[in-house]
Amino acid sequence: MRTGRSRAAPLAVGACSAAAQRLPALEAALAGRVLAPGIGAVVSPVHLAPLAPITDVRASAAYRGDAAATLVARALEKLAYEQSVDVATVAFTLNGAPQRVAARPAERLSDVLRETLG
């Protein structure tokens, strides 16, 4: 993703078929695209053809299919947002030792500390 364009975008959806299913048509549609806000609009029902949602007492198959499309689009939008936000360096003292970590504005301090400092 160094050029801002995706070379490959492996995607799978679980809990909407007997087993998690890859979405090859959507992967192909995303290949070579810039990961930028609005990318979620690429998702269409055709891309979700490998899914086989069921109807039961909790939800209809149509609802589950719509929910899967919405969640995939939201996930892509979140990735695009995270790529577009600048990283800031945060300096602080932890247990008497100076620390510097890179963080994005939407990240929680507890997550940054855990993932960066262990």
pLDDT tens-digit series, residues 43-70: 999 999 999 999 999 999 999 999 999 9
Give the pLDDT band (50/70/90) at residue 1: very low
Given a cut of 60, is residue 115 above it in pLDDT?
yes
Which residue do the tokens 């998690």 mark? Answer: 20
Longest dimension (CA), the chain: 57
Long-range contact pairs involving 81-85 (C-beta distance under 8 Å, separation at least 24):
81/37, 81/106, 82/106, 83/1, 83/35, 83/36, 84/36, 84/37
The span from the CA of 48 to the CA of 46, in Å, is: 5
Sequence-separated (6 or more) residues with CB below 8 Å from residue 86:
104
Distances (CA, A) of 87 to 97, 101, 104, 112, 113: 22, 10, 5, 12, 15
pLDDT recorded at residue 4: 60
**Proportion of the chain above pLDDT 70, given as a percent:** 96
Decide if pLDDT at 5 tops 80: no
